[in-house]
Structure 1
Amino acid sequence: MTIDYSRARELMVEQQIRPWDVLDMRVLDVLARMPREAFVAPAHRALAYADVELPIGHGQKMMKPVVEGRMLQALDLQPNEEVLEIGTGSGFISACLGQLAREVLSLEIQPELAASARAQLDATALGTNVRIQTADALTWTTERRFDAICVTAAVDTVPSQFLQWLRPNGRLFVVRGRSPVMEAVLVRADGTTESLFETDIAYLQGAAPTPQFQF
């Protein structure tokens, strides 16, 4: 069976993303054009536009399209901005960020995922302004500052260094808390935090809560 991906993309935007209060036309336009199926493993390609998380290996998953849409809208990226992505994963969000901002640096702890994402970005010609670096964001250091930081996996608590990488007017999107009830938030460089929605996604490697002993 041949899948009409452009039709599936259209339905995803109209039936999933828009009803979940994603109304930013730039974000909707990017999601309506972005070939999500190119970043999904062949075994899951038929589900590329379904309202589900998709496994990408190493215990990580692609977020549901609705969460991706809300995240991109919350960041409110401008064409002249520089973005840090923490957790490249499949490279799909990297490509979306690259369409909305001037430049993207994406950190990925797993070399295989970093290589695969790079290959997909190059194959689709969607990553000309995206640089992928294999690194553990929890131990990575940089003097560079960013207009926006996008964390694509959950943390128990937000690492303080993430906020230090923001420019004075910068903002950070992250999902924090304990499964099964986590909170997506937008944190600004001045420390103000806006609660966006509840969700439940996989933890960033090394950022899960310490197991609590039950007596």
Structure 2
Amino acid sequence: MQDAASLRRAMVDEQIIARGISNPRVIAAMLRVPRHRFVPEAPIAAAYADGPWAIGAGQTISQPYIVALMIELADVAPGARILEIGAGSGYAAAVMGEIAAHVTALERLPELADRARATIRALGYDNIDIIAADGMAGWPSDAPYDAILVPAGAARLPPALPDQLAPGGRLVMPIGGRFQQQLTRFTRSADGTLTEEHHGGVMFVPLIGAEGA
């Protein structure tokens, strides 16, 4: 049986690099983060498989490639402040925590937030805050952010989020219907306007919050 490090190396080579992810910071971060620690109920090999995995409460840990793609599109960089809406297991927050100065990750479901927080702490990250909160309003107390990632689908961009982006900041989110969305990157200009780019079809669980989804 392969050990976790070998499985992680194979995951990065076959699922990440082979599909065109080229940002060296993203690749290095995904090689360091032990994905299996975020899905303890799964066999270790399944944690590194090419697909999502259920983490309870109707939520999933995203496919490794999708995690890498969203972080690359968001251009997460050293020194950056990041907001994630929908922390889930905490895995993506950990990958970003390997790169960025600080990650604030919101999770609507307290039981998932508690578990993600415990995993993050056990792994020794001190630059990641997992907060049990409705993400539709973002987290304005720590704004502005250099990037915001929303790994859940909605028909439109939650209106509170763009104002929490720094000038030049990127927001990456799947936009569309309940079962099919376009992975979309919004970039905020100095005057506050947003430019929009589409990066392929995806399927995420719906974003649920106080303002609807």
Task: State TM-score, norm by structure 2.
Answer: 0.91
Contact map agreement 1:84 1:150 (CA 8 A) in 2: yes
1:88-107 aligned within 5 A: 88-107=87-106
Tell me if the contact between 2:26 and 2:72 (Cα under 8 Å) persists in the aligned partners: yes
Specify the code of the residue in structure 1 equivalent to 2:36.
E
Contact residue 156 and residue 208 of structure 1 kept, 8 A: no
- Indicate the larger mover: 43-52 or 10-19: 43-52
Equivalent in the alignment of 1:129: 127
Q: 2:202 aligns with which of 199, 204, 208?
A: 199
Counterpart for residue 40 of structure 2: 41
Gaps of at least 5 residues in structure 2 are none
Identity %: 33
Paired residue for 1:87?
86
In structure 2, the residue matched to 1:171 is 170
TM norm structure 1: 0.90
SS for the counterpart of 1:100 is coil
1:140-181 Cα deviation digits (max 9, x unpaired): 562521111011211121112111111111110101101443
In structure 1, runs of 5+ residues without a counterpart are: 210-215
**Equivalence for 1:213:** none
Amino acid at match of 1:193: E
Match of 2:18 in 1: 19
Give the equivalent residue in structure 2 for 1:60: 59
Instruction: Summarize the Cα distance change of 1:138–1:179 in structure 2 as closer, same or farther, 3 Å threshold.
Output: closer
Q: 1:82 to 1:202 in 2, by over 3 A?
A: same
The total of aligned residue pairs comes to 207
**1:188 match: secondary structure:** strand
Partners in 2 of 1:139 and 1:81 — Cα distance? 21
Is the alpha carbon distance of 1:85 and 1:7 closer, same or farther for their aligned partners in structure 2, counting shifts above 3 Å?
same
In 1: Cα distance, 2:54 partner to 2:164 partner: 29
Mapped to 1, the partners of 2:112 and 2:26 lie a distance apart of 25
Alpha-carbon RMSD: 1.7
> Which residue number in structure 1 is paired with residue 108 of structure 2?
109
